[in-house]
A and B are shown apart, each in its own frame.
Chain A
Amino acid sequence: MSAAGVRISTDRNRCIGAGLCVLTAPDVFEHDDDGLVTLLEPEPPAEREQDVRLAHQLCPARALTVEAARPDPA
């Protein structure tokens, strides 16, 4: 198993569909048919953490929450 990455949750009531998350980490975030955020990868691996945190920082509607993922059970 890979090292623990991050765990993402989204608030679609806050999302305004700006798309910066999709632009920044297209393998993790996507726009659905409503033009709002949807997750392709709710717990991306550690190597994606930097882009995910950048997406979180750029989100104009503060619709993303990023936490450290629970460590894999031994």
Chain B
Amino acid sequence: MSASSVEAPSFPVRRTCPYQPPDVYREISARGPINQVTLWDDRRVWLITGYAEARRLLADERLSSDRSYDAYPTMAPHLGAPAARKLVLVGEDPPVHHHHRRLLNPEFSLKHARALRPDIERIVNGLIDRIEELGSPADLVEHFAAPIPSLVMSALLGIPYEDHAFFQTATAGVMQGRDPEHTEASAAELVRYLDRLVTAQERKPDENLVGRLVAHVESGELTHDEVVQLTMVLLIAGLETTSSMIPISVLALLEHPEQLAALRDGVVPAATAIEELLRITAVTDFAGVRWITDDIEIDGLVLKAGDGLVVSSTMTNRDDRVHAEPYEVDLARASRQHLTFGYGIHQCLGQNLARLQLEIAFETLVRRLPGLRLAVPAEELVMRRTGTMQSVERLPVAW
């Protein structure tokens, strides 16, 4: 279907190429940086595809992230589940948002993330050892992309890794639920599990993030339930993003062998390369979903109070006013001018930890498996259905 004949085209639309937007997004974007699109529930919302406009709006205090209001757009049916509409931190406005974020900031500083480098290197190398033992072909989703953040987050939060099958399935159930009931049930299972974990930490705190958060219950800065909810949001945000990004980034590299060679041969440092992979893959797709609390005039348009607004990171990252040849994968681009981590007060809390995991994952993967290649034709890879997290179900590789 061509978008040019439709006033407010459907959004979101499934990607055909796992790391490039569907053609219809390009058509919408070509009309200008701010357009109207129609969601699954027939609601019209503003879609922002311009980088400057997105930054201006996401920093505007007349935008709210509070999902408890009907005005907050529901991007997919499963996200209408009550549990998905009362998320702490990501679904909060100031001052409550700032209170929660301030308590977590010390845990996610660049210094703290970098202190985890030896642990992450050990984790990633251990996974490659295991992949070599299993032999070719192997599924990089199951054996690499999923366990990296799962092992890192379980160590950080103090969640037993032997429970990983449970918490990986439950976090995926929240973010990629088949329907609202599936999302709600997955969130409820996570809450029950984490409630026990937080209670144990309250009795006898350990040296981990949850152990430090429960100290704030003692001092009256947080309630027990807030610690449970914050832990759940950290777990979901930490697992679903990184594990989704790695497979489609590997695919982008395999389909651009000259870029893969530049990374493997050290022509482009891994820390630089991952910024381009972040820009291109933009797995969350929506860098921000908000509703407007007071009329905003921008670019000759009036965004009305009560309107919904969605920023597409996939498209803002391809704004040709910011990047030359924005659809090209160019690892040497060395630009952090992307909105994959969002913008404004909600910009990703875990971005330093995410960058470090990606840097180590890609550097190690291409060094240790230099002959890496797809074990199935690219056309056979199955994209996840339209949701809020882009990825492939499996990535069988040989080496």
- Using CB atoms and an 8 Å cutoff, list the residues of chain A in contact with chain B: 16-20, 22-24, 30-31, 33-36, 58, 60-62
B344: chain A residues within 8 A (beta carbon): 60-61
| Bound CA–CA A60/B342 (angstroms) | 8
| Bound CA–CA A35/B106 (angstroms) | 4
Task: Return the chain B residue nearest A35 by Cβ.
Answer: B105
Partner of A60, one of B107, B109, B345, B352: B345
Q: A35-B109, A62-B59 are in contact. Are A18 and B336 (CB under 8 A)?
A: no
For this complex, 5 residue pairs linking A to B, each with C-beta atoms less than 8 Å apart, are A17-B101, A30-B111, A60-B59, A61-B59, A61-B347
With A19-B109, A62-B59 given, can you name 12 additional A-B contacts, CB distance below 8 Å?
Answer: A16-B101, A17-B349, A23-B110, A23-B352, A30-B111, A31-B109, A34-B105, A35-B104, A58-B337, A60-B58, A60-B344, A61-B344
A-B contact count (CB 8 A): 55
| Bound CA–CA A26/B222 (angstroms) | 33
Q: Is the CB of B345 within 8 A of A16?
A: yes
Partner of B336, one of A17, A22, A30, A58: A58
Q: Is the CB of A19 within 8 A of B102?
A: no
Q: Is the CB of A61 within 8 A of B110?
A: no
| Bound CA–CA A23/B359 (angstroms) | 14
Q: Is the CB of B106 within 8 A of A34?
A: yes
A60: chain B residues within 8 A (beta carbon): 58-59, 342-345, 347
A34: chain B residues within 8 A (beta carbon): 102, 105-106
| Bound CA–CA A35/B348 (angstroms) | 14
Task: Return the chain B residue nearest A17 by Cβ.
Answer: B105
Complex interface residues of chain B between 85 and 131 (CB less than 8 A to chain A) = 101-102, 104-112
Majority SS of interface residues in chain A?
loop
Smallest beta-carbon distance B112→chain A, Å:
7
B107: chain A residues within 8 A (beta carbon): 35
| Bound CA–CA A20/B337 (angstroms) | 11
Q: Is the CB of A20 within 8 A of B108?
A: no
Q: Is the CB of A17 within 8 A of B342?
A: no
Q: Looking at chain B, what size class is its interface with the partner chain?
A: 20 to 34
Smallest beta-carbon distance A3→chain B, Å:
26
Task: Return the chain A residue nearest B97 by Cβ.
Answer: A16
Task: Return the chain B residue nearest A36 by Cβ.
Answer: B105
Instruction: Tell me, yes or no, whether B351 is within 8 Å of chain A by CB.
Output: yes
A35: chain B residues within 8 A (beta carbon): 104-109, 112
Task: Return the chain A residue nearest B102 by Cβ.
Answer: A34
| Bound CA–CA A31/B109 (angstroms) | 6
B336: chain A residues within 8 A (beta carbon): 20, 23-24, 58
Partner of B110, one of A31, A33, A58, A62: A31
Q: Is the CB of B111 within 8 A of A31?
A: yes
Smallest beta-carbon distance B77→chain A, Å:
30
Q: A24-B336, A34-B102, A62-B59 are in contact. Are A18 and B351 (CB under 8 A)?
A: yes
Smallest beta-carbon distance A45→chain B, Å:
22
Complex interface residues of chain B between 206 and 246 (CB less than 8 A to chain A) = none
B349: chain A residues within 8 A (beta carbon): 16-17
Task: Return the chain A residue nearest B347 by Cβ.
Answer: A60
| Bound CA–CA A4/B265 (angstroms) | 40
Q: A24-B336, A58-B336 are in contact. Are A16 and B109 (CB under 8 A)?
A: no
